[in-house]
Structure 1
Amino acid sequence: MVKRINNKDSEIKNDLFVIANNEKINVAVKLILAIEKISFQNQEKQELTAKLIIAEKEIAHQNKEKDKRASELLIANKELAFQNLEKEKRATELIIANKKLITQNLEKEKRAAELILANKNLVFQNQEKEKRAAELIIANKELAFQNQEKEKRAAELIIANKNLEYQNQEKEKRAIELLNAISELNIAEEYQKEYIIGLEKLMFMTSHKLRQPVTNILGISFLLDQSSNSKEEIKDYLEYIKQSAITLDTYTTELTFFIHALKEKEKNCL
């Protein structure tokens, strides 16, 4: 009788020992899985940080290019203002030349009137005719010189107008290039922000949604390795694995669609 009691106690102790070892193994498995999950998340965090640093450097470079284009536009505006001042100066000179030419024409008409009077009095004033004729020759020479100066100034004005027109065209071209550069930079910045948000969402889906069913399958697989599992337990474990696999397939499909949408957005932005 005592021997049977001792055997029964021994069996109970063995059962308790097996149960304790199973619990200890389960805790160890969960601890290993948790450590692997933390390590994976840290690695994903480091990769995301490196991508963010690269994105910030690219944005800083684009901002420098934007500032450079703005400086070029300021220089072009200053040059155009100087050219406008030169144009106004030339216009003022032309106005003065025209006024002088009008005065000279009036003088010419006056001299012509004097010549007419001299011709009428030619019979009586031969000496005055010779004098006035000499004055007329000098006036004609001066008028010819003034006409040459007028033509020269007119040619200079035409060249100045052509130069100003060319410079205005260059200014408009530079302004359009600057606006296009600013527009492209804004589009690149918006795409960069959306791309970073997409990467963060992708990391979340990978580290949380996909990792959960994988962890469940690994844990259940470990439990299936135990020889003490009954048929009902094995059936339940297989059902759990099936559900986790279905969940994993669903999350994988979602991840595929998300990556495809991200690539399409990238094509549209580029």
Structure 2
Amino acid sequence: MEAIDENDVLKESIAMMEEKLARKLFLVNKKEVRKNAEIEKKANESIKANNELRFQYREKVNLAAELILANKELAFQYEEKEKRAAELAIANIELAFQNSEKEKRASELVIAKSELVFQNKEKEKRAVELIIANKELAFQKLEKTIRESELVIANKKLIYKTQERQIKTAELNIANRNLKIAKDKQREYVKGLEEMMFITSHKVRQPIANILGFSNMLEQATSSPGELKQFVACIKESAITLDILTREMSAFICKLRHNEKNKNEE
């Protein structure tokens, strides 16, 4: 009778241990599910970051095309300025020639007054021509002033567009540096995720497999209490190993988050 009681007690103890182990395995599986969900969430965030980088790259290409068009427009305006400058030079030569002609005509009028009285009518006509020529000269001077003003305005516009191009170039350089920093952060983050996946798939699975194997051996065991104690000790050792690996993974995740936070603050 006493032997039967000890077996019952042993069976109850084994049943309690199996129940405790099952609960622990349930908790471990629940934690693994949560961790897998976190990993999937971070992978989705990484995909979104890649899409944002592609969008920024397209924006850079469009900006470069706009800069090329702006440079072509500046070159065209510069050619127009050179044409206007050439026209102004020609107008100045024409004005000098007309001034010379006026002086000749004035000399002829003086000579005509002293020599021929009866040519007063002709002198009056020439005086009218001189007035017209003076008006034409004044008009041409006005045109020259207007062209000079237009040339000054064109130069100011060219300077403004050059400054705008320099600002856009600086903004493009800043965007390139930010893109490089974001890529470096992404590489480090993906590397951390790969290390976590390695730990999960290689190190964590081994003690879980040991616990499951020893549990099956306990279910099928008909050996002595000494062997049962040995099985329990092996299961306990695997559970301790699993606990250590879980703590290491938690510390690794905290370190990864800390590094990410420090980089974002920089």
Range class of TM-score, shorter chain: 0.5 to 0.7
Cross-structure match for 1:94: 85
Deviates more, 1:140-149 or 1:121-130: 121-130
Indicate how the Cα distance of structure 1 residues 78 and 96 shifts in structure 2: closer, same or farther if over 3 A, else same: same
What letter corresponds to residue 172 of structure 1 in structure 2? Answer: Q
What letter corresponds to residue 264 of structure 1 in structure 2? Answer: N
The counterpart of 1:142, out of the listed 133, 136, 139, is: 136
Cross-structure match for 1:168: 162
- 1:55–1:192: 8 Å Cα contact kept in structure 2? yes
Indicate how the Cα distance of structure 1 residues 210 and 252 shifts in structure 2: closer, same or farther if over 3 A, else same: farther
Cross-structure match for 2:258: 263
TM-score, reference length from structure 1: 0.66
- 2:204–2:245: 8 Å Cα contact kept in structure 1? no
User: Percent of aligned positions with the same letter in both sequences?
Assistant: 27
**1:183 correspondence with 2:177:** yes
How much has 1:192 moved relative to structure 2?
1.1
**How large is the Cα RMSD of the aligned pairs?**
4.6
Tell me the secondary structure at the aligned position of residue 60 of structure 1: helix
- 1:111–1:136: 8 Å Cα contact kept in structure 2? yes
**1:155 correspondence with 2:149:** yes
1:202-234 per-position Cα deviation (integer Å, ceiling 9, x unaligned): 3444665567679989979xx9xxx9459xx79
Distance in 2 between residues matched to 1:76 and 1:251, nearest whole Å: 55
Cross-structure match for 1:6: none
How much has 1:110 moved relative to structure 2?
2.2
How much has 1:141 moved relative to structure 2?
0.8
Cross-structure match for 2:221: none
Distance in 1 between residues matched to 2:21 and 2:209, nearest whole Å: 9
Tell me the secondary structure at the aligned position of residue 190 of structure 2: helix
Aligned residues: 243
Deviates more, 1:201-210 or 1:211-220: 211-220
Q: Which has the higher contact order (CA 8 A, sep 6+)?
A: 1
Tell me the secondary structure at the aligned position of residue 122 of structure 1: helix
Cross-structure match for 1:111: 102
